[in-house]
Structure 1
Amino acid sequence: METSLKPIPAEQTMATDGDTSVPTRWALASLALAMLMSSLSISSANVALPTIAQAFAASFGTVQWVVLAYLLAVTVFSVGAGRLADIVGPRRVLLAGILVFTAASAACAAAPTLAVLVVARGLQGLGGAVLLALTVAMVRATVPRQRTGSAMGLLGTMSAVGTALGPSLGGALIAGAGWRSIFLVMVPMGCLAAVLCLRHLPRDRQAGRPDRKAFDATGTLVLTLTLVAYALSTTTGIDIGGGTTVLVAASIAGAILFLRIEARAASPLIDPKTFADPALRSGLAANLLVSAVMMATFLVGPFYLSRSLGLGEATVGLVMSVGPTVSALTGIPAGRIVDRFGAPRVVVFGLVEMATGALLLALLPGIAGVAGYVTALAVLTPGYQLFLAANNTAVMTGGAEDRRGVVSGMLSLSRNLGFITGASVLGAVFAFGAAAPVASASGEAVAAGLRLTFLVAAGLMAIALVLMLRSRGVDRRATSAPEDA
């Protein structure tokens, strides 16, 4: 029996006649497993923070770097990973990312000190950035164009499954085998993902690839430092007027410097001409706004459920799991809807549904309590999956093949910046609406904060909707102009 892991050529892996072949299913399985690993590594680690703090006798502020190091690495390396894939090939870079992620997971499990654990988590985040960026980028090379939406829906489902499963799986592993087991379990998963990718993903095509030496190291370094400054300014809680002001100023200056470097670079990390595409600009901006709103549900929900509704910790956890569970159940159907009706139409419908869900979150909980909160989530979350599948499909099928990796990296970057910005900005809106320190606010004050937060969220979804509708109008005019001339 043939047991070689020699990769299947691209033409044998691609589906034909609109049907997904068995090799293509295995290729999709490898991408789905990679997405699941990256999601699990975020959500399961959060549960372990108290145990890790106790194990290393560390303060909560210090042990938070176990999570922050991963998130920072994922945020700052997404675009660079995508550009590297455009130069040397996405399959090679994805395999390297899986191996880095797996080795770093083993290092996390064996870490003798908290400092070593934080460094290993940063390396795991580097691998996670590759996984998040290139799983989306590889879809177009793996399935027929008419099934891209379904594949994007599958990846959205796996991301939601990882988010929903992480806390419960992490809690069970910690209770049974200790905190190191949440990292150790990633090692066999990573090995399996590497084997599947090596065996079933299509080989990288070398024809027409850019010069391998043309990696924009200067632009990558400036962008990395800029994103680190911005992420730290919104996540470390430094007092305004001190460190935060310096970091915000540094991020603004870094962004300006980065744009100037890219405008002059022979082979830029992000070609400024890329942003001439109105669909890409709108897709990235809407992705950021949508991610900020979704972060608000995780940030505000626990305070409202416990303070305003008086629910216990176990019940709060159960209600908070509704969103990820609904997201996991609706991801694949959302992708099929995109294939059926087209990405431009579905992305608009998804944003309308999200705006409706945000309005319901502002109004229904005050009327119907837990039932109102759950009903609103049940409207918001499917809208999110519709938007995600449609927007990813539209962005990834509209770009040039030799920039697919960096465009996917930009999608990942906009999503992560949205999460960071949502936690900071909408968190501030929540505190303003409560008109009191959140830690000591009354139930009525927290409810007022919830209402204001999701009224603002509905406004953000309206802005995203306007952006997408305007980009569609520009596309129509650009398409019809030659015919009218």
Structure 2
Amino acid sequence: MKTETLAYLPGTDVAENYTGNFSELKIAIAGISISLFMMNLDTSIVSVGLPTMIKSLKTTFASAQWFVLAYLLVLTALITAAGRLGDIIGKKKLYLAGIVIFTVASLLCGISNSAALFILFRGLQGLGAALILALSMAIATELTPKKMLGKTMGVLSTITALGIAGGPTIGGILLSTFGWQSMFLVNIPFGIVAYGLGYKYINSPTIKKRMPIDKVGIILLAATLSSYCFGMTMIEKSYFGNPIVLTLLAVTIIGLVVFIRFEKRIAHPLINVAIFKNRLISKNLFTTVLVYTVIITTVILPPFYLLKAANYSLVQVGLIMSFGPLLTVALSIYAGKIADGYGAKNVMFCAVITIAIGCFCMSTITPADNIVGYLWRIGIIALGLNFFKTPNNTVVMEIAPADQRGLLSGFLSLSRILGQITGTTVMGVIFAVLSGVSGTSKIGSSPQAITYGFHVVFLINAFIASFAALLIYPKFLKQNA
């Protein structure tokens, strides 16, 4: 067994106190990986069981949407606050609390006998997920030597992709074999193992002096993010003309202004907004939003094109759709090594350019192209995403101040979520109107119309990704960091 002591860790607060070895580090990262796998598996597994759950819980499709929304709203509203509270109270303590909350909530979801109770417990799961997602990368950063940080982030990215990719398949097996309850009860052994490994092997620094908790800031930020999330979700059905949507988006803007002004005036803010004066941090977070606005469309739109325009079967579409996530899983570990070797900024810039090229190629696809024609296009996009995620995490976490790592870890996760919400709604609306899927288009949802809508969305994606690449051009970042 290798017992070499870690000589250097990012942040002297950990380096001075850490007495473990590389074997213990690997076990600690394995524990974090299990918690991330559990959380991401659960995020993607629910959609498979919705039809069965609607029937079992004797509810409607409208109510069942809250099975997903309750989780998403709580996660979005609290993830940034969770990261900052970890900096104040202690990352290990809140991270382990997140595992307990998520695991117990999974048990309660699995034994729920009504839609109302299930929605309540899904919200509780969202709270646990916020704590896990916000603090996992921050803890991994504290434990990992700087020269190995890219590799560690690559491992965590691989596990995240595995959880997302495996959700539909594992969900289908559990659903058909043991019933929908098993899709939540399966989290219990994962949670127990993740908690045990985290409790024993995560060595997070003790908070010597606790600062006051900005309760008002937490409430303001949660309300602002909830307004945005709920407003954007409603756009999918009613578009931008709905007064409620416009009101919620206005509340979001007002809430953000009020929150920033409040945070600038108090002695111990939830978020020190001065941190965003660092252009490297602010541009990377904004780029993350843009990239995931693009990437989510590769999940929600291809089934429409492949089924209704290219006329593939459901089985074929399922297999085709698994190609991108599987490619990401296969290459994630190499992304960390390459980022360590060639510089995270350079790799990240090339990755976003690759995504832009892949989106442009996707905007030229036609039903006459065979499966290979789709796979090589989505493969380019998946390749770009793979080499964006790990370096992006590495760049932000590497420069994060020791007392702000939880906050920035939370912001990275929030950026991805906001991008996914924005892409799902805005790009979804554009596609629905242009393709006729919405039912409002005079041309109807013919194969030609669906192909046209698909082309326009991915052409827009190519421009968005190109703009994102300009934001993180390495020389520009070096000059303005």
The alignment's TM-score, normalised by the length of structure 1, stands at 0.92
Which residue type is aligned with residue 91 of structure 2?
Answer: P
Encode CA deviations 1:371-395: one digit per residue, 9 max, x unaligned: 2211111111121111110111000
Instruction: Report the CA distance between 1:267 and its aligned residue.
Output: 1.3
Match of 2:19 among 9, 12, 24: 12
CA–CA separation in structure 2 for the residues paired with 1:238 and 1:449: 18
Is the Cα contact below 8 Å between 1:137 and 1:404 reproduced in 2?
yes
Q: Which residue of 2 aligns with 1:466?
A: 470
For structure 1, the residue ranges without an aligned partner over 5 or more in a row are 1-8, 16-20, 479-485
1:166 aligns with 2:173: no
* C-alpha deviation, 1:77, in angstroms: 1.0
Q: Which residue of 2 aligns with 1:46?
A: 47
2:479 matched residue in structure 1? 476
Match of 2:449 among 412, 424, 445: 445
- How far 1:10 sits from its partner (Å)? 5.2
What's 1:268 paired with? 269
Q: Which runs of 5+ in 2 are unaligned?
A: 1-15
Q: Could you tell me how far apart the structure 1 residues matched to 2:103 and 2:255 are?
A: 32
- Does the 8 A contact of 1:10 with 1:201 survive in 2? no
Residue-by-residue CA offset, 1:142-179 (whole Å, 9 max, x unaligned): 21101111111111111110111111111111111111
Give how far 1:141 is off. 1.2
State the shift of 1:370 in Å.
2.3
Letter in 1 for 2:354: E
Q: Which residues of 2 match residues 132-171 of structure 1 at below 5 A?
A: 132-171=133-172
- 2:341 paired residue number: 340
Distance of 1:270 and 1:463 partners within structure 2: 27
The answer on 1:233 being equivalent to 2:226 is no
For the aligned residue pairs, the C-alpha RMSD in angstroms reads 1.7
1:310 aligns with 2:295: no
Kept in 2, the 8 Å contact 1:365–1:371? The answer is no
Asked if structure 2 preserves the Cα contact closer than 8 Å seen for 1:433 and 1:445, the reply is yes
- Comparing 426-435 and 196-205, the one that deviates more: 426-435
Residue equivalent to 2:8:
none
Kept after mapping to 1: 8 A contact 2:88/2:207: no
Once residues 387 and 253 of structure 1 are traced to their aligned partners in structure 2, the CA distance between those partners, rounded to angstroms, is 32
Kindly state the Cα deviation for residue 242 of structure 1 after the two structures are TM-superposed: 2.8
The change in CA–CA distance for 1:461 and 1:367 in structure 2 (over 3 A counts) is farther
Deviation at 1:461, TM superposition (A): 0.6
SS of residue paired to 2:370:
helix
**Distance in 2 between the 1:134 and 1:141 partners?**
11
Counterpart residue identity of residue 39, structure 1:
N
Q: Look up the SS of the partner of 1:11 in the other structure.
A: coil
Q: Say whether the 8 Å CA contact 1:92–1:204 is kept in structure 2.
A: no
CA contact (8 A) 2:285 2:412 kept: yes
Runs of 4+, deviation exceeding 4 Å:
none
- Judging changes above 3 Å, is the alpha-carbon distance between structure 1 residues 322 and 364 closer, same or farther for their aligned structure 2 residues? same
- In structure 1, the partner of 2:76 is 75
Contact in 2 for aligned 1:344/1:472 (Cα 8 Å) = no
* Aligned with residue 219 of structure 2, among 218, 221, 235: 221
**Aligned partner letter, 2:462:** A
Tell me whether 1:282 sits opposite 2:286 in the alignment: no
Listed as ranges, the matches of 1:186-205 within 5 Å are 186-205=187-206
Cα distance change of structure 1 residues 202 and 10 upon mapping to structure 2, 3 Å threshold: farther
Instruction: Answer yes or no: is the 8 Å Cα contact 2:142–2:204 preserved in 1.
Output: no
- State the shift of 1:216 in Å: 1.1
1: distance between equivalents of 2:116 and 2:480? 56
* Mapped partners of 1:150, 1:438: distance in 2: 47
The residue type paired with residue 323 of structure 2 is V
Q: Secondary structure at the match of 1:12?
A: coil
Write the letter of the residue equivalent to 1:32.
S
The one-letter code matched in structure 2 to 1:226 is T
Write the distance in 2 (CA, Å) between the matches of 1:64 and 1:229: 17
Q: Secondary structure at the match of 1:346?
A: helix
Q: Superposition pairs for residues 126-137 of structure 1, below 5 Å?
A: 126-137=127-138
Indicate yes or no: 2:359 matched with 1:361.
no
- Write out per-residue CA displacement over residues 243-289 of structure 1, whole angstroms, 9 at most, x where no aligned residue: 21221111111111111111112111111101100001110011001
In 2, Cα distance between equivalents of 1:118 and 1:155: 29
When residues 352 and 474 of structure 1 are mapped into structure 2, their CA distance, relative to the original with a 3 A threshold, is closer
Does the residue aligned with 1:58 lie in a helix, a strand or coil?
A: coil
Counterpart of 1:91 in structure 2 is: 92
Moved more, 101-110 or 263-272: 263-272
Quote the offset at 1:429 in angstroms. Answer: 2.2
CA distance in 2, matches of 1:362, 1:390: 27
1:481 matched residue in structure 2: none
Q: What is the deviation of 1:400?
A: 0.5
CA distance in 2, matches of 1:238, 1:164: 27
Q: Percent identity?
A: 34
Match of 1:455 in 2: 459
Letter in 2 for 1:12: T
1:434–1:292 Cα change, 3 Å: same
Match of 1:185 in 2: 186
TM-score (norm 2): 0.92
The equivalent residue for 2:5 is none
Amino acid across the alignment from 1:119: L
Paired residue secondary structure (1:363): coil
Give the letter for the 2:447 counterpart.
Answer: G
For 1:6, the equivalent position in structure 2 comes to none
Q: Which amino acid aligns with 2:217?
A: G
Letter of the structure 2 residue corresponding to residue 460 of structure 1: I
Q: Structure 1 residues 339 and 365, CA, compared in 2 at 3 Å: closer, same or farther?
A: farther
